[in-house]
A and B are shown apart, each in its own frame.
Chain A
Amino acid sequence: MDVNVEQQAGALPPRQSQKAATRQRVLDAARELFDTRGYQAATIREIARHAGVSVGSVFTTFASKGEILSEVMTARLDSLYAEIDRVMPHVRGSTADRLRTLFAIHFEFEARQVRLFLSHIAAAYDFTLSPDARPYGRTPRLQAIIREVVEQGVADGEVCADVDLQEVIDLLMAAYAWTYRLVVTRNADAKTMIAAMDRQIGLIAKGFASRA
């Protein structure tokens, strides 16, 4: 990301700006293909053809398609997290309600290109994934945001202090990802997923409630 900004800010030698342009074309093509075809069907070859560049030039910029998707998601999620940072400090209510709001924002955002998010989850199981790739579950930002909400709950006395926070976070992360199953099996929309997640958060909240 930083590299991109620098490249755009300064006057670049033609060769380098061409490289940046290729990179952007590949990312745009990939975002579209991951969303329309899914992770498995969007091959590097298809992405190259769609971007109008050679397969070789894709590989000079990215190590794997998992890495391309990671870049796409990182750029995309930056705007989501900016929204969350803006909204969350103003959200009131119980820990469960604040978690519900947090995830509702996520579902509304991801539902716009929901297959892209399914690809993000599927990428976690890719055999050819390079170590640099960041599929779902390896993006620390979401975990950090959930942790903040739950820690606030501990401070407020709503979350039992001897609950292992990481386990609560992992349960919420799992519930969040697995709610997208409703898209795979039933073409669920954001509203349906939010309702399903709300109930799951309620159930988990009973498990972490402070035993006062």
Chain B
Amino acid sequence: MKHISPIQVAAETPARPPTRRALAKQQTRQKVLAAARRLFSEQGYEGATIRDIAAAAGMSTGAVFANFTDKSDLFREIMVDDMKALHAAMCDAATRGRNIEESLLKIFVAGYTFYKTRLQLARAAFSVSWDKDGGPPLRNLSAATALNDLFAEQLSAAVERGELSQEADVKLRSQMLFDTYLSNFPQAIFEGWSLDALQTRARDQIRILLAGARRG
């Protein structure tokens, strides 16, 4: 039997450091993602080609395709990163509301704040989401449905607290709240509404949508 050095043992444990090759691959991915994010923001989903993205990242289109199957794959990866960060921000915001109306409002505002610096990327995402082919894979991402679920979780918790009635149609109401949250983006993107203006509008919308579920 051969002597096994401690180094070899360490190399076989699951937590071994990534190889140089894996690290290089990871760096390539990050470079492509950063370039793609910039181009999607500047030129929209349709306008940004894989060739342009590769050039902006300083690599060949072959190197891009070695990491991502196609443009939609690349785009979804960026969306997943953002939606996870957004979800965390929204969850955090929700805990700071003293009642359901405030929590929902803080969730809305967390979303608008998050996208304030990336409105053009949001615009590209909306454009893809309404496409019959590109829409479903984007809308069905677990990171996307988690955002929708967050609204349902908030409403269910409010029902448990006795703040909303047992008959509050949580599924429909949370879906409508999420849709309403999304429907305000055109004002933010094209009309340049301030966060204050969006918040005022959102508060009224939330009140109308909650009215039928109030107890009493």
| A interface residues, Cβ below 8 angstroms from B | 38-41, 115, 118, 121-122, 124-128, 137, 163-164, 167-168, 170-171, 173-175, 177-178, 181, 183-185, 199-200, 203-204, 206-209
A207 & B136 in contact (Cβ 8 Å cutoff): no
Contacting residue for A126 out of B127, B173, B179, B212, CB 8 A: B127
A127 & B183 in contact (Cβ 8 Å cutoff): no
Residues of A near B128 (CB, < 8 A) are 40
Q: List 24 A-B contacts (CB under 8 A).
A: A38-B131, A38-B133, A40-B45, A40-B128, A41-B133, A118-B131, A122-B130, A125-B127, A125-B130, A127-B47, A127-B127, A128-B44, A164-B204, A168-B208, A171-B208, A173-B183, A178-B183, A184-B131, A184-B136, A185-B136, A199-B172, A203-B173, A206-B211, A206-B212
| B interface residues, Cβ below 8 angstroms from A | 43-47, 120, 123-124, 126-136, 139-140, 169, 172-173, 176, 179-180, 182-183, 186, 189, 201, 204-205, 207-212
CA distance A183 to B131 in the complex (A): 10
CA distance A115 to B136 in the complex (A): 14
Contacting residue for A115 out of B120, B132, B169, B189, CB 8 A: B132
A174 & B208 in contact (Cβ 8 Å cutoff): no
Main secondary structure of the interface of B (DSSP, over half): helix
Main secondary structure of the interface of A (DSSP, over half): helix
B139 & A40 in contact (Cβ 8 Å cutoff): no
Closest Cβ neighbor of B122 among chain A residues = A125
B131 & A122 in contact (Cβ 8 Å cutoff): yes
Known: A178-B183, A184-B136, A204-B176. 5 other contacts (CB 8 A): A127-B43, A127-B44, A181-B139, A200-B172, A203-B176
A185 & B179 in contact (Cβ 8 Å cutoff): no
Closest Cβ neighbor of A181 among chain B residues = B139
Contacting residue for B140 out of A137, A164, A185, A203, CB 8 A: A185
Residues of B near A127 (CB, < 8 A) are 43-44, 46-47, 120, 123-124, 127
CA distance A171 to B129 in the complex (A): 20
Closest Cβ neighbor of B169 among chain A residues = A203
Also in contact, A174 and B132, with CB within 8 A (given A127-B47, A164-B204, A206-B212): no
How many Å from the CB of A126 to the closest CB on chain B?
7
CA distance A118 to B43 in the complex (A): 21
A126 & B44 in contact (Cβ 8 Å cutoff): yes
How many Å from the CB of A105 to the closest CB on chain B?
21
Also in contact, A207 and B207, with CB within 8 A (given A178-B179, A184-B136, A185-B140): yes
How many Å from the CB of A69 to the closest CB on chain B?
13
CA distance A174 to B186 in the complex (A): 11
B179 & A175 in contact (Cβ 8 Å cutoff): yes
Also in contact, A184 and B204, with CB within 8 A (given A174-B179, A178-B179): no
Also in contact, A184 and B132, with CB within 8 A (given A126-B44, A167-B204, A171-B205): yes
Contacting residue for A121 out of B124, B130, B172, B209, CB 8 A: B130
Also in contact, A174 and B183, with CB within 8 A (given A40-B46, A203-B173, A204-B209): yes
How many Å from the CB of A116 to the closest CB on chain B?
11
How many Å from the CB of A1 to the closest CB on chain B?
25
A204 & B131 in contact (Cβ 8 Å cutoff): no
B130 & A163 in contact (Cβ 8 Å cutoff): no
Top-10 shortest CB links A-B:
A206-B212, A207-B208, A127-B44, A174-B183, A122-B130, A125-B127, A178-B179, A207-B211, A184-B135, A125-B126
A207 & B47 in contact (Cβ 8 Å cutoff): no
